[in-house]
């Protein structure tokens, strides 16, 4: 690969200085245990009446009102992004506490997220909840499309809920910044995962000013996490996903990124389910590819 000659003066000094200020939070055990972070439509149907279960439709309001899982509340993924510049980043703690609290979620709620079946909206909201310290959150495998295929109950009425108090506590180990990612380039104890399509990784196409990828990043497109089951995009089994990510050492920290943080949030979710130590670079390629001071590869 040809490294873009965009090395800026003082890069080594900057890295050294940031190294002194930046520490990744890593569990004492090193690698987390694998845990089930999904539920299927059958489980959800059986638990819809549980007042502690809050089902969240992460699609836009128009799609939600056209039909949603009966009893689901609507938190469009766009509402989790900052209303202020830069608007492609996660919203602040005050915004998030109100957003989820108004949806009837407190710190003990079992949250189940879904979108239409692409998982990138639901995956992004999953990451946001983890960054802000919520411990009980899962994705609906099969999404809304799988629910409809089962002919399970849907509604076109907005679900009215009583607001609850959601107290957020920031978990920095799940959030990577530009500086975290810059330091990871030459760190053998870190992996950088580019979740974009291959054409964007190789530089044939870019949604930012520059084309290519972050140096040392490996490419595993987000849609490799899925396969078709009876016409429904479904998350692959744990064993299948282990093969997809066989080149990533679960004992090492992984940073995921894409363009604006939705596709790579789903990849973050998958690595969490596999027990990896993982964080998500919120700025992603939209920040990196538009900053001429940062190195890239093609």
> Known catalytic residues?
258
Q: Both tokens of residue 126?
A: 């999953």
- Which tops the pLDDT comparison, 248 or 21? 248
Say what the pLDDT of residue 31 is.
46
- Element housing 38 (H / E): strand 38-39
Query: Residue 86 gets which letter from DSSP?
Result: S
Percent of the chain with pLDDT over 70: 88
The superfamily in CATH containing domain 38-155 is: Rhodanese-like domain (3.40.250.10)
The string of pLDDT tens digits covering residues 106-137 is 999 999 999 999 999 999 999 999 999 999 99
For every residue of 177-212, DSSP letters joined together read -HHHHHHHTT-TTEEEEE-S-HHHHTTS--SSSS-S
pLDDT at residue 24 is higher than 60: no
pLDDT at residue 19 is higher than 60: no
The string of pLDDT tens digits covering residues 53-77 is 999 999 999 999 999 999 999 999 9
**Cα separation, 175 vs 131, whole angstroms:** 7
Say what the pLDDT of residue 27 is.
38
Q: Give the pLDDT mean for 272-297.
A: 97
Tally the C-alpha atoms within 13 A of residue 259's C-alpha that lie toward its C-beta. Answer: 17
Tell me the pairing of strands 232-235 and 226-229. Answer: antiparallel
Percent of the chain with pLDDT over 90: 87
User: Which residues in 65-96 are b (16+ Cβ under 10 Å) and which e?
Assistant: eeebbeebbbbbbebbbeeeeeebbbbeeebb
Please report which confidence band the pLDDT of residue 34 belongs to, taking 50, 70 and 90 as the band edges. low
pLDDT at residue 277 is higher than 50: yes
Domain locations along the chain = 11-28+172-288, 38-155
pLDDT at residue 176 is higher than 50: yes
C-alpha dist (Å) from residue 238 to 32, 130, 135, 280? 15, 21, 21, 21
Fold matches, 11-28+172-288 and 38-155 = yes
Bridge partners, residue 58, by sequence: none
Cis status of the peptide bond prior to 86, with omega within 30 of 0: yes
Q: Both tokens of residue 102?
A: 């108004």
Within 22-176, residue ranges assigned H as helices are 41-47, 61-66, 93-102, 120-131, 143-149
Q: Give the pLDDT mean for 138-154.
A: 97
Please report which confidence band the pLDDT of residue 265 belongs to, taking 50, 70 and 90 as the band edges. very high
CATH topology for the 11-28+172-288 domain: Oxidized Rhodanese; domain 1 (3.40.250)
Say what the pLDDT of residue 5 is.
36
Say what the pLDDT of residue 206 is.
96
The string of pLDDT tens digits covering residues 191-218 is 999 999 999 999 999 999 999 999 999 9
Contact present, 244 and 222 (Cβ < 8 Å) = no
pLDDT at residue 9 is higher than 70: no
Tell me the pTM.
0.89
Q: How many CB atoms lie within 10 A of CB 31?
A: 15
The string of pLDDT tens digits covering residues 248-259 is 999 999 999 999
Contact present, 114 and 55 (Cβ < 8 Å) = yes
């Amino acid at each position: 690969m040809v490294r873009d000659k965009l090395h800026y003066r003082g890069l080594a000094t900057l890295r050294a200085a940031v190294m002194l200020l930046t520490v990744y939070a890593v569990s004492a055990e090193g690698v987390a245990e694998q845990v089930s972070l999904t539920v299927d439509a059958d489980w959800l149907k059986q638990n819809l009446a549980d007042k502690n279960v809050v089902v969240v439709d992460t699609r836009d309001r128009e799609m939600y009102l056209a039909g949603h899982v009966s009893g689901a509340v609507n938190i469009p993924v766009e509402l989790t992004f900052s209303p202020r510049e830069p608007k492609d980043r996660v919203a602040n703690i005050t915004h998030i506490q109100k957003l989820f609290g108004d949806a009837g979620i407190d710190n003990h709620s079992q949250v189940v997220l879904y979108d239409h079946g692409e998982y990138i909206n639901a995956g992004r909201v999953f990451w946001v909840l983890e960054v802000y310290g919520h411990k009980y959150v899962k994705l609906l495998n099969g999404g809304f499309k799988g629910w409809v295929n089962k002919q399970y109950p849907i509604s076109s009425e907005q679900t009215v809920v009583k607001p609850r108090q959601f107290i957020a506590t920031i978990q920095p180990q799940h959030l990577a910044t530009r500086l975290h990612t810059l330091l990871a380039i030459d760190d053998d104890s870190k992996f950088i995962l580019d979740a974009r399509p291959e054409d964007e990784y190789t530089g044939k196409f870019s949604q930012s000013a520059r084309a290519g990828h972050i140096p040392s990043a490996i490419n595993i497109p987000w849609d490799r996490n899925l396969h078709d089951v009876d016409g429904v995009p479904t998350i692959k089994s744990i064993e299948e996903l282990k093969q997809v990510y066989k080149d990533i050492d679960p004992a090492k920290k992984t940073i995921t990124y894409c363009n604006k943080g939705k596709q790579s949030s789903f990849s973050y979710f998958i690595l969490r389910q596999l027990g990896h130590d993982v964080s998500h670079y919120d700025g992603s390629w939209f920040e990196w590819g538009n900053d001429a001071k940062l190195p890239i590869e093609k």
